[in-house]
Chain A
Amino acid sequence: MDEYILIFRHQDGHKVASPEQIQVWMKQTMDWIGGIAAQNKFSGGNGLPFDGAKVVHHNNIVTNGPFGEIKETIGGYIIVKADSVDEAVEFAKGSPVLQGDGNTVEVRKIAKGNGPH
């Protein structure tokens, strides 16, 4: 069985949601993750808060970010166990992130530890 990372990309990380809305998303996300974990297919994951985020550029220039010039921002990821990329894609389809127009979940296989694949 392979591992796949599901990367949540948000169209605009700038938008401020209401606490109630955030709570609804939190529940949906936890229910989604719980459903994957109940199949023993969850390997790990985390949210990536925007607060205090920085971007290091060429020549070590550091900016606050990733806002402004970058259209899409990464809001978090989970790692799932799946037999095929198709199975991982089925997991991704349930992600509440996809309720946002323009948001995407990128599915990428994780290379195994025995060298680059």
Chain B
Amino acid sequence: MALLIDSSPDCIISKEGATPADDSVDFILQARYEDCAGIMTFGPGSTYGDEGAAADTGYYIVTWLGITFMVVTLIMWMAYENRQLIGHVGRIRGRDGGPPPQPGGVGGEV
């Protein structure tokens, strides 16, 4: 049992004194995994094709956090670059004696 948080799927079961499966060649599927197919963190722990669309609540949360992070970073990228360019154009125009750029724009498009 994990100490504070158990982020592994429920199909990974606890077996007291579990040892590798009898066939020593079968070194991957050890006893605690033998009922498990999908082993990803926060995953449903089901087999492929069996309720593939379903997931544990934790996995939905992780997925939507990822999607949100992706969208936010794209928006931040645009905002950050826009601010950076406005500042730089202001420095150029200040150096050359031209008018500083107005908020919300950095000069005409070509």
User: Is B a genuine binding partner of A?
Assistant: no
Q: Which residues from chain A sit less than 8 Å from chain B, CB to CB?
A: none
Residues of B within 8 A of A (CB): none
